[in-house]
Structure 1
């Protein structure tokens, strides 16, 4: 919005990398607003600096709001949670071909949360866009069904299939699978990396949480990292200790 690249920006705030999938909340988010819905549960609640169009039609479903738009761009970066949001949204939009006909997928190779708005505006001509075709939809639906399965076998098999329609999906799935408990230690990739960094003297949460290039894992946010660290410290046989 600050860059003047869109009339309305609709964020997806859901975390899909940890815990049960919030399927009911996702359904409410994109549906037409219902009176009992609590504030913050509908897509229109999070549109910053609401343009007049959102003020007048914010009660509509997301699909109905997008109907009169000329172009609907999907901006999801390479972060695993973003890629999960993308495959869920594409799977949802499969039954709305009128929206898909005007949809374009931006191939974002940077972190949307941390990138400066001016930098985004300047780099826009160099950010490729692709139309959403049957290949993207089939890949997204296959990946979402695999991720939503009760056990990870299908998801593990998926990384060996052709996922080239969504170029950032395979690395995201590999990162997610790495966070499953190891058969030898019971720990995921981030937990193991925490122990390695602490053993090397990185004791503060600032270093453990924010030095991403040092940690080299990218699945969890700060709150989720905190829960992982707490689990390492508060188990019956703590892996870490200290104030």
Structure 2
């Protein structure tokens, strides 16, 4: 069974990748707080399969993904919906910060028409930042606080 974890920030992505809880862990990085909002069109283009529209760093949703992060599931050129379709289950891990909450709202709105994806979704809403926890798992399966 293939499993994808999507996070609402890159720090949570780095921590969860080390846990080996999923085949692939990816962070969604749009910034909706403290800067000008990207247009809806720009956000959607960023999620498409890589093309000539993605000529600047940060234009494609996978520009910052680590080499090898998608092994067996696609290349750094794959589109968001195409990648999600490859997995049997998808978890969205959401930190409590304002930008993370807005990314969640955007993502759920974006995915609403895609029943073939939404039926595979689970939501993990955290009370604290995931990056504040060690990547190793305790015996009950939860992450342990660092420090």
Band of TM-score, shorter chain: 0.7 to 0.9
Taking the TM superposition and a 5 Å limit, the aligned residue runs for 1:130-141 are none
Match of 2:6 in 1: none
Match of 1:6 in 2: 22
Aligned residues: 124
Q: Within 2, Cα distance between the matches of 1:19 and 1:44?
A: 21
Offset, 1:123? 7.9
Aligned-residue RMSD, C-alpha: 2.2
Q: Within 2, Cα distance between the matches of 1:40 and 1:111?
A: 24
The 3 A distance-change label for structure 1 pair 113 and 25 is farther
Taking the TM superposition and a 5 Å limit, the aligned residue runs for 1:98-177 are 98-118=116-136, 121-122=137-138, 125-126=141-142
Match of 1:33 in 2: 50
Q: Which has the higher contact order (CA 8 A, sep 6+)?
A: 2
Match of 1:65 in 2: 83
* Structure 1 stretch displaced more, 70-79 or 22-31: 22-31
**Do the aligned residues in 1 keep the contact of 2:95 with 2:125 (CA within 8 Å)?**
yes
* Structure 1 stretch displaced more, 9-18 or 39-48: 39-48
Offset, 1:107? 2.2
Match of 1:76 in 2: 94
Q: Within 2, Cα distance between the matches of 1:88 and 1:101?
A: 17
Greater strand share, 1 or 2? 2
Q: What is the aligned counterpart of 2:35 among 6, 10, 19?
A: 19
Match of 2:70 in 1: 51
Q: Within 2, Cα distance between the matches of 1:3 and 1:107?
A: 17
Determine whether 1:42 maps to 2:60: yes
Gaps of 5+ in 2: 1-16
Gaps of 5+ in 1: 128-243
Structure whose CA Rg is larger: 1
Q: Within 2, Cα distance between the matches of 1:32 and 1:124?
A: 39
TM-score normalized with structure 2 length: 0.72
Greater helix share, 1 or 2? 1
Q: Within 1, Cα distance between the matches of 2:59 and 2:140?
A: 31
Offset, 1:53? 2.8
Match of 1:215 in 2: none
